[in-house]
Amino acid sequence: MTIQWFPGHMTRAKRQIEEKLKLIDVVFELLDARIPEASRNPMIDEIVGGKPRLILLNKADLADPVANAAWLAHYQALGHSALLIDSSTGTGVKDIAVRVQALLKEKTDRQIAKGLKPRPARALIVGIPNVGKSTLINKLAGRSAAVTGDKPGVTKGQQWIRTGGGLELLDTPGILWPKFEDADVGFRLAATGAIKEEVLHVDEVGCTLIRYLADAYRDTMVERYGLDALPATLPDMASAADVLADIGRRRGCLGSGGHVDYDKAAGVLLRDLRSGKLGRISLESPVIS
């Protein structure tokens, strides 16, 4: 699943971030807790350089708690400040200001030593599309200060937003890298909705997801869709397509002649995953070296 998708506004966003970086005190790198590494844009390290950074594992309420703990420990072991949050429910959001104070303590102490009154910290929020940046900003600001949506590409420009917690936030459009050579990365981004559905085959994503779930979350699949005869493993896409067809029949995803509409069936599966109706599911785990 090699996907190329780099709209013009993303090119502009990269340039604008680089221009604004000199005004920034701390960078919030917002990741999807269900796919932390797949949702990490490798361009971000190059763009933000050595700026203090707080990794925010968003949508943690949708992710597997065991995987959440493993990812948190992983990033902390690498020397990063990391926090589990959910911008929709507010989980962990109040802890962000405390982490920022810790990250900027040396700078703040120097300002105080010089007799200066520290100004509000200026934070840049970066992340791939549909990871929840605007929702987080609105939660921090306590109002609808940024446009939100459940599909990628909603935020088209940049804006400074003041919050009551001693922060000034710069929202930016999501930046996705130009090409995904790794098929697993493409699948994970597609399954969680980071990529517009027009650029992928929905039934292929659905079958790939079924193969993963049958292996990692078989009981969840059986309970949700009544798949009592679900095999322990699905060796190929054809066997996964059979399961997708079963789900389609059970959910009424039928076309003319009573045949299963595989795209509709895959859509049901993906919506269940993204909404949490399938349960708390993570699509990757940290590699332990």
> How many CB atoms lie under 10 A from the CB of residue 144?
10
Question: 241 and 166: one domain?
Answer: no
Residue span of the structural domain in which 158 resides: 3-179
Known binding residues for GTP are 58-61, 130-135, 174
Number of structural domains (the chain) is 2
Question: 158 and 33: one domain?
Answer: yes
191 is a domain residue:
no
Q: Could you give the C-alpha distances from 94 to 51, 68, 86, 91, in angstroms and in order?
A: 22, 18, 11, 8
CATH number (domain holding residue 154)? 3.40.50.300
Known binding residues are 58-61, 130-135, 174
Question: 63 and 164: one domain?
Answer: yes
Question: What pLDDT, in 10s, does the model give residues 74-101?
Answer: 999 999 999 999 999 999 999 999 999 9
Q: Is the pLDDT of residue 128 over 60?
A: yes
Choose among 137, 129, 195, 122: nearest CA to 171. Answer: 137
pLDDT band at 147 (very low <50, low <70, confident <90, very high): very low
Q: Give 19's contacts (C-beta < 8 A, 6+ positions apart).
A: none
Question: 30 and 152: one domain?
Answer: yes
**What per-residue confidence (pLDDT) applies to 155?**
43
Question: 103 and 153: one domain?
Answer: yes
**What per-residue confidence (pLDDT) applies to 99?**
95
Question: What pLDDT, in 10s, does the model give residues 168-212?
Answer: 888 766 666 656 678 888 899 999 998 876 667 899 999 999 999
